[in-house]
Chains A and B, each alone.
Chain A
């Protein structure tokens, strides 16, 4: 549903970045999507491809890094990725963990054609 809007925001960012690399093609954009981001990776890839097709951005691939929910146990200190139904610590079974991550919706990196080094914006 809203993955089309999210994919569009990714492409806006890519378009903006192209100005930093005028003579070089951007081949790939890496995005981090957390399990709690409310964004479906498959729908996102589908929308992304549809939006890129036939534009000046082609060829442009999307690489999604899916990030599980991560917690740290306040009792024993262990960090772990939690399964859906239960956030209890897998070591000591205590349900008192601090949320570490898993809601990210982030632009991670671009892969850009080699060339003379671009100046950072």
Chain B
């Protein structure tokens, strides 16, 4: 297997882009990534596109072909493949590109993610997102996606000493970071009171515990590490790529409050990279809800189960803490265009490792991790990147 490098990144602003179509979002991100890598389109050998549900959001399937066509790749006939794993579609798209390059099958590969969510009403988007869980046995009885994470929160708060205020502090911290990220959907700081005064969505989760509905696209270019210097001197090495599965339904998990796919993917990634937790300088975790960030920090092994709320309160996960978590603002403040999120996480970590994260730069960041979850934990992708 060959070592793989990320040689270019590009991300559209995240938000409600009523004036921009699905394909135009993708093209913006792809062009930014190619420009960043100093590449022209003729040098691309293959493309992967993470997308959860263009079929429901814009009535469009066959996304690989559409994207290849509108990015000018159809006339060159290079392979273009859609990757779907609900909210982990982006993370898996990146992993497929890494595998393609590592195996020697391809050399220069684009991994992208895109989601256009605001062309449908809230009811339809809530129902579409519920398809990330088990439609037959969760969605059918009225389980919404926030509702499932709310049941994780209820179970967690029953068993561990997590306060409602500590949960709110996850959102406060991520909004603080988002305020320093030019592409973030929400760029204003909030307080604990903002969260606690927002309306209940699914008890105990309130509106400000939830990531928003977002349009956006992100793209990165990967290439063999040995060739990276041909294109750029601002490349980042992929140290590990891990993916794990678990039951599609929350109710079938061995432990409602623990995402065993996160536990597995996190362990495998660290083992493959030959690293320990103390080597990780920052991590982008999948905070689709505040409780999800609490679980992620623990299930990735950064602290014992039950401690993440206290660590958040103490500022350990803040921008200037020992383990900065979600410097981008996370899904909560940066926004969550589901198929694009996993790629945006890679973009954020690459920016940090290149020292280009501006007001949210983590000093001397060398090794970063990304954690991308599909559904309530049925699919998890974990990646580790290192500055060279």
A, B from the same assembly: no
Residues of A within 8 A of B (CB): none
Residues of B within 8 A of A (CB): none
